[in-house]
Structure 1
Amino acid sequence: MPPAQQWIHTTTGRIATCAHSWMQAVHWIAGSGLYTPSRAHGPKWGPTTIAIAQEISALKECRPGVDYLARKLKVAERTVQYHLGMLREAGLLVYRSKGTRIQGVGGRASVFERVIPIEFDEALGIRTIGEGAMRRPVGAAEESRTLLGKLAKKAARKARRRPRRKSSSAERRCTPMQVGTSGTSSADRTYSPPESKLASGTGKSSTRKQAKRGPRKLNKVGRRYQLAKELIQLVPWLRGASIPRIAWIIRHVADAGWTVLEVQAAAERFISDKEPRRPSAVLAFRLASCHLLYTTPDRRKVLVEDWQDSRRAEQARHSEAAQHADHVQGPGSVSVQDLFREAARRVNEIAYGPVDDAECFEINVEDGTPPLDLADLDPVWIQQVRKDAAEDLSSITSALASGMSDRDARRLYTNWLVDQALAAQRRSELAPAF
């Protein structure tokens, strides 16, 4: 059968009703001589093929694993693959689904269907009903009943593989009586060694000492995988990446003798706005042609030093910004800020005496009613004020600095504009002066 007809939906045979009838077809193919293998090499049809067919017929679900059959029959996995191919070519096995390999899960064995070829039915006069592979036998010709009986006896008999015969040289035994040997014994002659070969008292031991082997030296591929594993452990944004994928990406720099610190410096030194999202793709994008640019250890040393200096400067900027934010940043809640101002006013009043009414502002803490009521203001004027504030955010910060409370500013200018103004003021304060 050609490969195109080795599927359940393309085969011309019919599905076997039982394992016994299928083994009858297997023995008939073996004795008819109609099947010739398509390969000029490899094993031929023989007892191993029959033994594999018997193991397949005993399966409830026809999904034979190659490793299972190899262990059961004590043969090589390649031998099992050869004989399964012959059973398919003979039209005795067809695919129901072909096996696949899934990453992280492992291989999936192919699911077969035991099929009786149409040549078997035609040669023995088997009458069937139905269509396609679902045909069922209903009778047989009178003249073929004797042959069917012989095939039934063969199908019921379990075939055994013959053990391999040992070579004749392994069976020879050397005895003083020269029994069972084809040559003469070496014990019938004695030789006196020459004086130059006599022992001088400083002879060497006949047992050789085993040499102490050091750590195994990695080849090119092993070096790539080792560097990829170290890089995934060191770089935070590469955690969880596939080691084979990273090893293939860094193959050029690994072959050039780069260290993991040099690869990290090259990957984090050059950052572009148009980068992919996958970490492995980001690494491939940043390392493109780096092995052609930094061809010497001195150049790579300068790259690492420049990268380390930039990281130290970045950490210093972050620490200064955090310290500055700790000093200038107050509570984020508006009500808490108002309570903080009222507490500060009362502390100052106790310390320095009463404060003038012009410098005070009232806060209704019980009901939370804001001092500013937008209903008393002109809506057109409020829209104009918000429009001007959106064009110039400094007007909001100026109003806050002149004494307007944060609550009144947010009611007048909206929360979004006040947050934008405060963020812009914070950025201007943290910006370094040149």
Structure 2
Amino acid sequence: MGDSRQKSAPKQGTQCPPIATACQWLSTTTGRIASDGHTWMTAVHWAADPEEKRYIPTSTHGPRGMNATTLLIAQECANLKECRPGIEYLVRKLRISERTVEYHLGMLREAGLLVYRTKGGRVAQGRDEASVYERVVPLAFDEEHGIRTIGEGVHRRPVGAADTARKALGNLARKAARKVRRPRRRTPVSGQGRCTLMEGGSTGTSSAGGSIPPSETKLASGHSSHPTPKKAHRGPQKLNKVGRRHQLARQLIDNVPWLSRASAPRIAWIARHCADAGWQWQEVQAAAEEAGPIDGMDSRRPSGLLAYRLKGVHELYASTKARHLMLTAWEDSRLRERIRHQGWDGPAAVIPGQATDTAAAAMDDIRAARQTQAVSAADLAGATEHPQGDTNIEALTRAEVLEHRAFAAQDPTYVRNLLNGLGDRDTRRLLTNKLVDQALVLLRLNTTELSPAF
């Protein structure tokens, strides 16, 4: 590669023209890549000089030019090994708004100081990818200071400068070496003057002697307003991450029997992953008791048992749908256990020859219980024997309807017989959807016993 030395006489007051959007890429820029962050900051201070006003933004909104915030953002970019300043990182580091960061990064690109190597955007799973920049020294900077370069394209490197520009380059280098700090606030936070007079001394006169007294009409009026009125709090405050953890811990201690003696801070720390993922206390209990029921008398250390049972469950049930299915399965298992303790679970298998006798005996028991509860024999017979449409459930009194529902809540086979006699529509009108669905679940769980009776 030949020596393509470029030399131009220094020009005073050279402007830094705005760079079009199409030329803000590494492949289309006319500048050269800065060798280090200090060299790049000299070009940034040159373009941001408030007296020369070399760069004027083309946007009609936002800052009217480069200022101290631009230098702060450029300083963070200069300290990065890979110039990949994320918007969230700059917002958190400099404590400024996201819109401000976007404005000043746009000005650095438009001034030819930053160019895209790769432009960021949304990638898989809705995550934002930060843009990768290259720190570039504009061509106008080299022309003004008579900098000679060798090489081609963006990989040119300086080999000298004009003698008349050495003083200006030294001043820029000293500015680049100093750390840029946030400018001090000029006005007080409250926006009001000082409360006490900065006067007085050893003189015998009062410092308030020259003050103007208030008007007589404003004395004791009772309508004075505070200069900084307090803002009324509207609604409850939103819980942060720690508050949500302690809320979940308190709910677990109040509702789960075997956790009633546990410590709330310890439970909050154990269930922290579940609380951060938005779990409810029912889902935490279901995940802990999924391996088997827990007796409060047997758990000497409930927090340790909970930590053992919850290990890795927030990763196993990461989605809301998976947690719902897990909670439904746990509720069904508890319902089946309650049915088994109440005696609904019969033998594991029923002899086929005894199916008819078993069904008939069940019907006899139902009829006897109905008579014991003083339910109308005609209505009950019609509800269980007549086909759909022959029974008028509107003729039943409220007391009879309540007796039907109370008996259906105790015996799922009674609901099954009503479904066969009245049909689904009238049965649900009589017993409510909740009782019918609950009975169907019980019958489905005990299908081994009850299937011959269908």
Q: Settle same-fold status: TM greater than 0.5.
A: no
Q: How does the TM-score come out when normalised to structure 1?
A: 0.43
Q: How does the TM-score come out when normalised to structure 2?
A: 0.42
| Greater gyration radius | 1
Tell which has more relative contact order, 1 or 2 (C-alpha 8 A, sep 6+). Answer: 2
